[in-house]
Amino acid sequence: MGAGLLATAAALAYIDQPVENFTLPKLLLEFRSAGLYEVERVDLEKGTIRFKPLEPIQGHAPADGINHTISYDGRTVPPEFKNVKVGQKAVLFRDDPYNRAVTLLEGTWYLSSWDPATNLSRLMQVSNPYFECGFQGSVGELVEACKKLVRGETAVVRCLAKPKATETHWVAVTLREPNKKTVVPAAPADPPKPAPAADALPALVERLKAEKPVDRMEAAAALGRLGPGAKAATPALVAAFPPEKDPFARRAMIAALGAIGPDAREAAPALIAAVRDGYGSVDDLVGFEAVVALAKVDTDNAASSQYVLAMLRDKNPDVRHRAAALLGLMGGHLQAFAPALAAAMKDENPGVRMEAVRSFMKLRPDAGLAVPALAQALGDSEKNARFYAANGLADFGPAAKPALKPLMEAIAREKEPDARAREIRALRYIGPEAAEAVPMLLELLKDPNKEVQSQAEKAIKKIKPGG
């Protein structure tokens, strides 16, 4: 779907369908990570919320939570957030190709732009009718509906029949047919499924060979609920998922290996192969689930890093894109692979370059390698590559001074306000060593974009304190 689901223009409109046809499955397919979160801190005066993860629904959750701004200008909090309290629950959808986030918080849907470098989501729009035409209900109901969908089952949800109207109806939806909504009577809630007993392991392993895909999928999901207790099922899962044709059963088997964790490390080569799975719709989620599982089973990455480096040289740009993303997900102890990502920042494909820049800083590279590479990326034709390059330079603070002139040149030619604001922010973190940029920053105080103005003002104060 890519840009087909959400547009980043000012109108923030969905462009691939009428509002009332938007479905919850389309949201899950667009955002590869989703989970249940809780409000950990809230400051209505500053317009900020911090969420801590409670339970993943699909994909992965950050280890230490996510910060959101809930005001458009840093001062005025929309009325929908006035009663937010610590302890309230929310569902967050993340990891789309364009770094956006969608949140349901106590009946309020809102759209944010997410910056992985700072782990901050900035408010873009509150009460978007598209989401309300996909789901109306509580956070708990949304969690259960999403769990059903990712298991490949049909979920019955209540949603607006028309945008900005009060009429609601119940519809049946499924990931197998994400564009279809069937109006139905309200369905009774399903009782929760208990975790299987450890002595059920042999029967679950045998059920992985069942004729019906749904049976194989449910067996894999049950093994996943056993977690490390399903260690003995690893060989059976490794044998079952590569030939599995049903994407939902395949995904459940991969997720079960991730839930087993390091004890399933023998699955690493098969998971690497699964990362190459189809590019789009459900199959894309299968590949992404393999990325998440690989990071869980191969915790020191000894078994997988060389495979990923080979992928980074693959002829298929989609494969190279996944390799760049996977190196970033693997963690900061892979500094030895930073040069390979620095080379990927010059890839002929703009998506690969963007993902390489995004992942590069997660490897905590040495400033001597990173600053020149990031400075060169400031000239990239891909806006998001420039955005992440500026973020990376800001992380180095005064050590990024060799990139001062490239930053000033980038700011002068930059047409995208959000990228320009990030480039100015990088100047701010260089500090007093960026004094020659002050005349340019003074001119930028007249920029029509408020965020550019704000960053220029902050940069001037940091570069010339008291001046």
Which two structure tokens, joined as six digits, stand for 434?
Answer: 């960026």
Encoded tokens for 263: 């004890």
Q: Do 422 and 454 touch, CB atoms closer than 8 A? A: no
Contact 414, 426 (CB under 8 A): no
Pairing of strands 48-58, 33-43: antiparallel
Domain boundaries, the chain: 2-183, 193-299, 366-467
Beta bridge partners of residue 156, listed in sequence order? 172
Written out in words, the top-level CATH class of the domain with range 193-299 is: mainly alpha
Rounded to the nearest 10 degrees, what angle do helices 383-396 and 350-360 cross at?
Answer: 20
3-class DSSP string for 97-122: CCCEEEEEECCEEEEEEEECCCCEEE
Determine if the pTM surpasses 0.75.
no
Q: What is the DSSP letter of 20?
A: G
Two domains, one topology: 193-299 and 366-467: yes
Element (H, E) at 157: strand 155-160
Q: What is the pLDDT of residue 95?
A: 79
Nearest by Cα to 311 from 303, 301, 319: 319
Q: Which residues pair with 48 in a beta bridge?
A: 43, 69
Other residues' Cβ atoms within 10 Å of the Cβ of residue 231: 15
Can you give the pLDDT of all 467 residues of the chain as single tens digits? 333 343 332 223 333 557 788 899 988 888 888 999 999 999 888 889 999 999 888 877 776 788 898 887 666 788 889 899 999 999 999 877 677 889 999 889 999 887 655 667 888 888 878 888 899 999 999 999 998 888 778 899 999 988 877 889 999 998 888 888 999 987 666 666 665 665 688 999 999 999 998 889 889 988 988 889 999 999 999 999 989 988 888 988 998 999 999 999 889 888 888 876 554 456 567 777 887 788 788 877 666 677 778 888 889 888 888 788 777 766 655 677 889 999 999 999 998 999 899 888 888 888 999 999 999 999 999 888 998 899 889 989 999 999 999 999 999 999 988 889 999 999 999 999 999 999 999 999 999 998 899 999 999 999 987 66
- CATH superfamily, region 366-467: Leucine-rich Repeat Variant (1.25.10.10)
